[in-house]
Amino acid sequence: MATLKLDTKEDVILKLKDDDQYYGAFGKNFISNSDIKTLLKNPKDFQKPQDDTKNFVMGRYFHQSILEPEKAKDFPHIDVATRNNKAYREICESLKKPVILLTKEKMEIDTMVQTMKANIRFFDSIYAEGNKFEVPAIGKIMGLDFKGKADIECDNYLIDLKTTSDVHSFKYSANNFGYDTQAYIYQVLFGKPLVFFTIDKQTLLMGKHTPSPAMVERGKIKVLKAIQVYETYFGDNAEEDVDQYFIEEVLQ
């Protein structure tokens, strides 16, 4: 990782408010929760650029529609049946984007957004006076520079918005998707606990999920393991070639 040359932490935070900086080359100066997931799953992918996928684009539109509606108004989409379509490929090429929304997907997300906003308790929590949206933070965790961007920063806690394929299974899938490590990292960076607000993409049933201390501690242990992987293959004193990485386990 490059050494930061900006004068103050405030300068860095200001720069990271820009998504192009946060997700671009400047943001690579910091470890993120997505990096932790990569280091634990397949460190060979750690330094590879990550292209947009359909799920990333849908998630971005969902978040912008709730938190930054001025950006969502101009979100590109095309009214075709599938992505295996000449018109779709042409508009992606013209916009220089690997993936854009289909109109039917946009409409599905619009319905989820409207449903979440229509719930009084969710609405009041998301749009409470004094809340801040898309708030970046940086800090040292176990000796490395980390970054995070909270969807919503409230007075005493953070809210992270998620869509899910099954809200009833979120408590099981959360750890597989790295939400336990996210809960730990964000609690350290912001000094506040993280709560997940979810909506089921099929049923539109919503959930409020509060990580337990055990979940946060589990996240901490996984972050430690990921940092050990990072130091082994990418740290200043790295001793092993990541191309030689393999999974070793005892089968039960």
Beta bridge partners of 101: 77
Alpha-carbon distance of 21 to 52, in angstroms, equals 16
For residues 177-207, b (16+ Cβ closer than 10 Å) or e, as one string?
A: ebbbbbbbbbbbbbebebbbbbbbbeeeebe
pLDDT of 10-46, one tens digit each? 999 999 999 989 999 999 999 999 999 999 999 999 9
Looking at CATH, the fold of the domain delimited by 9-51+113-244 is given as Lambda Exonuclease; Chain A (3.90.320)
* φ/ψ bin of 168: left (φ > 0), alpha (ψ from -120 to 50), beta (otherwise): alpha
- By DSSP bridging, strand 158-164 and strand 144-153 are antiparallel
Q: How confident is the model at residue 8 (pLDDT cuts 50, 70, 90)?
A: confident
pLDDT of 195-207, one tens digit each? 999 999 999 999 9
Domain boundaries, the chain: 9-51+113-244
Of 179, 247, 196, 193, the residue nearest 34 (C-alpha): 179
Beta bridge partners of 135: 150
Q: How confident is the model at residue 2 (pLDDT cuts 50, 70, 90)?
A: very low
Q: pTM to 2 decimals?
A: 0.92
pLDDT of 157-194, one tens digit each? 999 999 999 999 999 999 999 999 999 999 999 999 99
